[in-house]
């Protein structure tokens, strides 16, 4: 019985998840309150994870602004059109670093994931663009991005 108890304890110790804990202090806001920074405070963008639907016949974009000594990182992009088709392109400092064919995005959601993240140059803005889905059609662009 002792061996069984010891074996069970050993198995449980090996499969128990390890948890990391933050032990530092968060910066204080203007009111002196300490709290973890929000995504837009950390990365200077409205939201690191977005879903944006454009107006009919309009391209949808997300910009990761340039920042000193930091690189934009794109983890995933997905998109779909209400009707018609479109393409996805990504620029880094004005240079196109990724593009799909014009009919890649349709009414079925298409997803792209980069592991590791698609990384921009230091101090350079990255722009993700879903082209127009056609006259009378709207497109939706979903992104997971950050900057560090």
What pLDDT is attached to residue 22?
41
**What is the pTM assigned to this prediction?**
0.70
146 touches 38 (CB < 8 A)? no
What pLDDT is attached to residue 19?
43
> Using CA atoms, how far apart are residues 101 and 112, in angstroms rounded to an integer?
13
Q: At 147, is the pLDDT very low, low, confident or very high (cuts 50, 70, 90)?
A: confident
> Using CA atoms, how far apart are residues 40 and 47, in angstroms rounded to an integer?
6
> Using CA atoms, how far apart are residues 59 and 87, in angstroms rounded to an integer?
10
Q: At 49, is the pLDDT very low, low, confident or very high (cuts 50, 70, 90)?
A: confident
pLDDT digits (tens, 9 = 90+) for 1-48: 566 555 545 554 554 444 444 444 444 445 555 444 444 444 455 456
């Amino acid at each position: 019985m002792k061996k069984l108890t010891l074996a069970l304890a050993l198995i449980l110790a090996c499969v128990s998840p390890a948890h990391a804990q933050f032990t530092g202090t968060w910066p204080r806001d203007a009111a002196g309150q300490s709290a973890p920074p929000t995504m837009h405070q950390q990365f200077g963008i409205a939201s690191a994870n977005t879903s944006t639907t454009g107006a009919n016949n309009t391209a949808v974009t997300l910009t990761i602004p340039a920042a000193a000594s930091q690189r934009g990182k794109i983890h995933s992009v997905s998109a779909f059109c209400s009707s018609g088709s479109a393409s996805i392109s990504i620029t880094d400092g004005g240079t196109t670093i990724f593009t799909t064919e014009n009919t890649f995005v349709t009414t079925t959601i298409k997803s792209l994931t980069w592991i590791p993240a698609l990384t921009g140059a230091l101090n350079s803005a990255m722009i993700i663009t879903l082209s127009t889905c056609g006259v009378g059609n709207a497109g939706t662009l979903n992104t997971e991005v950050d900057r560090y």
